[in-house]
């Protein structure tokens, strides 16, 4: 006598076997066999097939009482219990559904794994329960079995599965039998829970009559707390969602941005929920380190290997009103334009009516099919698929930290043209405390929600032309380093942001002064692009010095003088060598 799962085998090739549910709704169990052969239009099923599916007892010549018990439930509940009984009646269905799992309660059926008729029959029965669509001619079907758990049939399912286990030769152990598997141990042994894409604990809960909850994305709620952060950093992020923090090691670059991200994190029990900290490694030569890649050798064929950045963007697309931060630490250990070029381009098209996605549908479907994501991550992926791609949304901010030394690379004009640069000079030893602190002139005090809302509102800000005469003078003095329309409008955006941030929160008295605003926009947006040898730079330095002195721009003048000394000493200078 066949034992184990091999004992579970009934015909799956005959059409319409799932229609026995209609007979059960109309007749008690002792009348089922009398009404499956042409009594009702479209219902013509072999008795042997139905006996195997519904666990007919040949000794008592009757079907189990469970098929009378289910008749008092809804029509959908009857369909669901019949579906469960069919699935656990055949070893092949048990194995195929277990292997088809992609994430919690979700999976992908493939025609090649079942056979032509078996695939068609199973997909049709699942579609009747709202688990999947029917796409004629499709070779694979994505399904979601969660509708099963919305029906209060768990205890009846337990009775059905117990009958299937007995068919395999399993015997319920006595209370003092410590060497045989009990019901749930035997279910786990056969991986029955994997058939439904749930854990053994969830399986137990359902069969014992408790609610089985599908894991969902967290409910976000930003705690209303007072925050002290850098007004320089917030201003730059609000003007342009790509900011480079430059300076020597230990000056507080990484700490400043990570502190800000964690303070406006709406899910406090997940510390990195709203940000990804990505250490850049030497030798990155393409975008796969950030974007992921296709893997032709996945467990079920070609799959997509995700990254921390992609995972964070998926959340940002789902929670579109929450700021998310991508922190690229030691950004210039590799050539930025090589591994980051995709994002440099997308930053300029993200506001288009039909922006180009970071990942298209093909990659997202592959990622979903990979079966390596949890239920929550799968929800994010399906949301991106629904939106026709993973996009670089307006709530995403890129921050790169850089140290400039002989082990790092210079930034290309393409990178600097798309960013604001904030430099962190090392303080005097006498100014160093036990912990890193923000200086009084750079301090912004606001609530968490105020900062989050402020960052999200600046896409609607009108560009300010208040300081266009200064920009014209600057443009004329820069020689071959002249800036383009993009930089002009980003500077205008920055000026508007400075006005709004002072009005909204109040800032240090010096923050809103014209000279202070011009100083910041110059050292963050204009000077970083200047680099070259003595012959190229000295005429530009002389022209800029005249403009800076007329406007009384002390910081710009100081940095210009550092660059002048550098070029006179070494014959070459850049903004970053003078920090």
For the record, the structure tokens of 122 come out as 């199973």
**Together in a domain, 203 and 310:** no
Residue 408 pLDDT > 90: no
The answer to whether the beta carbons of residues 228 and 443 sit under 8 Å apart is: yes
Average pLDDT, stretch 44-50? 89
**Together in a domain, 43 and 153:** yes
As for how many domains the chain has, the answer is 3
Q: What is the pLDDT of residue 413?
A: 87
Domain boundary (457, 484, 502) is at 457
**Together in a domain, 568 and 419:** no
Q: How far, in Å, are 107, 200, 382, 485 from residue 373 at the CA level?
A: 12, 18, 12, 43
**Together in a domain, 467 and 452:** no
**Together in a domain, 17 and 76:** yes
Which ranges of 409-466 does DSSP label H, i.e. alpha helix?
413-416, 448-457
Interhelix angle 91-100/75-87, nearest 10 degrees: 100
**Together in a domain, 65 and 52:** yes
Residue 11 pLDDT > 60: yes
C-alpha span between 203 and 183 (Å, rounded): 12
C-alpha span between 475 and 488 (Å, rounded): 10
Domain boundary (457, 489, 505) is at 457
The per-residue pLDDT for range 479-522, each reduced to its tens digit, is: 999 999 999 999 999 999 999 998 888 888 889 899 999 999 99
Q: What is the pLDDT of residue 355?
A: 84
Q: Name the average pLDDT for the chain.
A: 90
Residue 26 pLDDT > 60: yes
Average pLDDT, stretch 158-180? 89
The secondary structure element, H or E, covering residue 381 is: helix 375-386
CATH number of the domain residue 246 falls in: 3.40.50.300
Confidence of residue 440 (pLDDT cuts 50, 70, 90): confident
Q: What is the pLDDT of residue 509?
A: 82
Domain boundary (403, 436, 457) is at 457
**Together in a domain, 415 and 319:** yes
**Domain enclosing residue 547, as ranges:** 461-579
**Together in a domain, 451 and 498:** no
Q: List CB contacts of 532: < 8 A, sequence separation 6 or more.
A: 572, 573, 574
The per-residue pLDDT for range 113-141, each reduced to its tens digit, is: 998 888 998 999 999 999 999 888 889 99
User: How do strand 396-402 and strand 324-329 relate by DSSP bridges?
Assistant: parallel
**Together in a domain, 470 and 343:** no
**Together in a domain, 418 and 522:** no
Residue 46 pLDDT > 60: yes
The secondary structure element, H or E, covering residue 113 is: helix 111-114
Confidence of residue 214 (pLDDT cuts 50, 70, 90): confident
C-alpha span between 564 and 556 (Å, rounded): 12
**Together in a domain, 551 and 533:** yes
């Amino acid at each position: 006598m066949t034992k184990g799962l091999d004992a579970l085998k009934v015909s799956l090739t005959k059409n319409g076997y799932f229609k026995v549910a209609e007979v059960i709704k109309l007749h008690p169990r002792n009348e089922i066999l009398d009404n499956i052969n042409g009594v009702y239009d479209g219902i013509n099923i072999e008795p042997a097939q139905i006996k195997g599916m519904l666990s007919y007892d040949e000794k008592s010549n009757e079907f189990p009482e469970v098929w009378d018990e289910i008749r008092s439930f809804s029509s959908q509940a009857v369909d669901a219990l019949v579906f469960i009984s069919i699935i656990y009646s055949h070893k092949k269905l048990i194995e195929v559904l277990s292997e088809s799992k992609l994430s919690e309660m979700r999976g992908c059926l493939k025609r090649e794994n079942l056979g032509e008729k078996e695939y068609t029959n199973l997909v049709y029965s699942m579609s009747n329960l709202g688990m999947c669509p029917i796409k004629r001619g499709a070779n694979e079907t994505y399904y979601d079995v969660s509708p099963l758990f919305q029906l209060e049939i768990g205890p009846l399912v337990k009775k059905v599965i117990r009958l299937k286990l007995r068919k395999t030769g399993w015997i319920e152990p006595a209370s003092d039998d410590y060497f045989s598997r009990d019901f749930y141990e035997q279910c786990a042994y056969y991986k029955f829970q994997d058939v439904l894409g749930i854990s053994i604990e969830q399986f137990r809960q359902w069969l014992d009559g408790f609610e089985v909850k599908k894991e969902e994305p967290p409910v976000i709620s930003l705690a209303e707390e007072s925050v002290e952060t850098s007004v320089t950093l917030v201003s730059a992020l609000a003007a342009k969602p790509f900011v480079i923090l430059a300076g020597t090691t230990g000056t507080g670059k990484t700490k400043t941005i990570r502190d800000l991200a964690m303070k406006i994190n709406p899910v406090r029990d997940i510390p990195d929920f709203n940000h990804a900290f990505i250490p850049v490694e030497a030798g990155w030569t393409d975008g796969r380190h950030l974007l992921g890649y296709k893997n032709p050798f996945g467990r079920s064929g070609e799959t997509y290997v995700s990254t921390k950045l992609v995972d964070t963007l998926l959340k940002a697309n789902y929670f579109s009103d929450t700021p998310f931060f991508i922190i690229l630490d030691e950004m210039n250990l590799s050539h930025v334009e090589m591994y980051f070029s995709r994002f440099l381009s997308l930053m300029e098209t993200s506001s288009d009516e039909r922006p180009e996605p970071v990942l298209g549908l093909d990659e997202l479907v592959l990622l979903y099919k990979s079966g390596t994501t949890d239920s929550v991550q799968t929800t994010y992926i399906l949301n991106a698929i629904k939106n026709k791609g993973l996009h670089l949304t307006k709530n995403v901010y890129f921050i790169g930290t850089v140290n400039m030394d002989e082990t790092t690379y210079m930034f290309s004009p393409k990178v600097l043209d798309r960013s604001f640069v904030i430099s962190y000079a090392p303080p005097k030893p006498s100014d160093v405390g036990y912990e890193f602190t923000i200086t009084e002139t750079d301090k912004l005090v606001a609530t968490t929600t105020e900062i989050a809302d402020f960052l999200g509102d600046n896409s609607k800000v009108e560009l300010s032309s208040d300081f266009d005469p200064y920009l014209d003078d600057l443009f004329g003095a820069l020689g071959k380093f002249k800036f383009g329309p993009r930089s002009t409008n980003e500077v205008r955006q920055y000026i508007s942001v400075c006005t709004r941030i002072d009005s909204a929160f109040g800032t240090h008295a010096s923050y809103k002064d014209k000279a202070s605003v011009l100083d910041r926009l110059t050292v963050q947006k204009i000077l970083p692009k200047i680099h070259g040898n003595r012959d190229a730079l000295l005429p530009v330095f002389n022209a800029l010095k005249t403009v800076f002195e007329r406007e009384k721009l002390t910081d710009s003048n100081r940095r210009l003088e550092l660059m002048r000394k550098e070029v006179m000493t070494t014959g070459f200078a850049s903004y970053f060598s003078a920090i």
